[in-house]
Structure 1
Amino acid sequence: MAAEVMDLKARADRLRELHGEEMLVLPNAWDAASATIVAEAGFPVVATASAAISAMLGYPDNEGAPWSEMFAAAGRVARVVSVPVTVDAEAGYGMEPRELVDRLLEIGAVGCNLEDTDHRAGGLVEAGAHAQWLARVRSAAADAEVPIVINARVDTFLPKSGIPESDRLAEAVRRGRLYRDAGADCIYPIGVRHQDDIATLVAELPGPINGNTGDDLNLAKLRELGVARVSYGPRFYRTAMADLKTAVQELLS
């Protein structure tokens, strides 16, 4: 096995191990500078946020940016840090699984978020079809000899999913089980706001759960509920841009 592949494999193994230790906290980065800040602060992993990167590049979120520009930006993140990097790859940009895996490894990433929203058609991808696609990504990673960590995002709690509010939790559990069976390492039910829902998801789904802070869900509460991984998406990017806006406006006063 080539040295580069061995290094990527070691990083992928480490990223997977971190899901079973202390709660993995990911203050998402969007460029080399923000990634450096996160790594130098002592976080053991750097994660990217697609909404932040696409905004930085001047495109809308939800696969509004060309995949080549998104991957180039994520590659600059991976280049400047020595810790594992996991990339928000949105819905996979229409790539075949082996191409997606190869592109991730080319930029030095060893993990990815993959969501089950169809941004072209609107709404969610059929769960069985998405599980099959995830299984092919898992198989492609095995063929590449780097066990990329797949964080399967479940979008049922998002309003654009089209799922009635009363059915969102049950559908998230159903989809999460399918995705875990397909080989996903972690399930990410984005948009969950209530403690009871997170507690049910942790209890009903095998394996690690990715949560978000907000409302009455701070880090301590998420840790108490058994959440294994917490990500912040574009939150820090938006805070940075808001601070910049305030600072430049003050120059005019």
Structure 2
Amino acid sequence: MDTESRARAQRFADLHREGCFLLPNAWDVGSARILAAAGFPAVATTSAGVAFSLGRPDHDWFAEQPSEDRVDRATMLGRVREIAAGIDVPLSADLEDGWGEAPETVAETISLALAAGAAGGNIEDFTGDRARPLYDEKLAVDRVRAARETLSAAGEPFVLVGRTDVLLVGGPLDEAVRRANAYLEAGADCAFVPGAADAETIGTLVREIDGPLNVVMGLTGNALSLDDLRELGVRRVTVGGSIARAMYRHLLSAARELADLGTFSYAADQLSQNELNGIFRS
């Protein structure tokens, strides 16, 4: 890691020490540069957005999808590398489940993400298998521990996030808390519990999780604001693939207007060529 990259990664780590910050999710260099130009101190990737940009579905239940539908590790980390090189702010990478069950595979993924220029990344416990939607808790902990050991050996700043999808698969809140704390104890710097969207649930997580908490907003146009989340004690807020989905909604609306009506009202709300050129020249 060069001096500039190391400084960016350290700034990203420092963001997690106090307060609350918003970490928006990009899917390519253009979207990342627009988010950076808006003044955000860091940007994250969204695996969903990257998949959609490649014309593929986001990962779901793997056994029910053709294997070629899932974006492979090399492709995803190639996009991470492109984005990290194209922006001046730290980049956190959505590393899904690490692209493999074994702790050794997760460790390798973390090493590759670090080499690609990521200042942080999350490892989740979702398996993609309906028969066992989450990795066994002991194995999930071992996977986080392997990631931390790799980072400790590298000696570079990197924010490791332990993500548990307990709530997304219909599991109980107490299990989400237990797993999040176990991942923090195994070496994660921040816990991520997607599926928590109301003040009561988020407040419980903040109180019972022994470390910084990331929540994801924007999945359903949630009414909670960043100020609300700050008051609840949330440390980090991401938006997942919601910006990408909103962009594709506009694209679909424009396509339907062109195909069905032959009119061009969609163009009334476009960004100007000069405005986009100005952002991408910076």
TM superposition score normalised by structure 1: 0.90
Matching of residue 197 in structure 1 with residue 197 in structure 2: no
Within 5 Å, give how 1:73-222 maps onto structure 2: 73-94=79-100, 96-120=105-129, 122-158=132-168, 161=169, 163=171, 168-213=172-217, 214-222=221-229
Partner Cα separation in structure 2 for residue 191 and residue 122 of structure 1: 18
Number of residue pairs matched by the alignment: 244
Whether the 8 Å contact between 1:31 and 1:77 is mirrored in structure 2 is yes
2:45 maps to which residue?
48
Distance 1:56 1:71 in 2: 14
**Runs of 4 or more off by more than 4 Å in structure 1?**
none
Instruction: Name the amino acid aligned to 1:130.
Output: A
Q: Deviations over 1:99-137 (max 9, x none)?
A: 212211221112001111112564111112111111111
Please report how far the alpha carbon of residue 210 of structure 1 lies from its aligned counterpart in structure 2 after TM superposition. 0.6
- Distance in 1, Cα, partners of 2:167 & 2:12: 26
Distance 1:224 1:147, change over 3 A: same
Consecutive unaligned residues of structure 2, counting only runs of 5 or more, are 63-69, 262-282
Q: String of CA shifts for 1:174-206, please: whole Å, max 9, x gaps.
A: 101100100101111101122111111101111
> What is the rounded CA distance, in whole Å, between the counterparts of 2:183 and 2:11 in structure 1?
22
Q: Deviations over 1:124-152 (max 9, x none)?
A: 11112111111111110111121321111
Over the aligned positions, Cα root-mean-square deviation in angstroms equals 1.7
Identity %: 39
Aligned partners of 2:176 and 2:193 also within 8 Å: yes
Aligned-partner Cα distance in 2 for 1:78–1:206: 30
- Measured after TM superposition, the shift of residue 71 of structure 1 is 1.1
Unaligned runs of 5+ in 1: none
Distance 1:7 1:101, change over 3 A: farther
String of CA shifts for 1:187-246, please: whole Å, max 9, x gaps. 111011221111111011111111123534222211110111110011000111111122
Rounded to whole Å, the distance in 2 between the matches of 1:144 and 1:15 is: 17
Distance, in Å, in 2 between the alignment partners of 1:242 and 1:112 is 27
Q: CA deviation at 1:162?
A: 5.2
Distance 2:46 2:245 in 1: 11
Task: For residue 78 of structure 1, give the secondary structure of its aligned residue in structure 2.
Answer: helix
Q: TM-score scaled to structure 2, two decimals? A: 0.81
Q: Would you say the 8 A contact 1:5–1:146 is kept in 2?
A: no
| 1:230 counterpart = 2:240 | no
Give the CA deviation at 1:89: 0.4
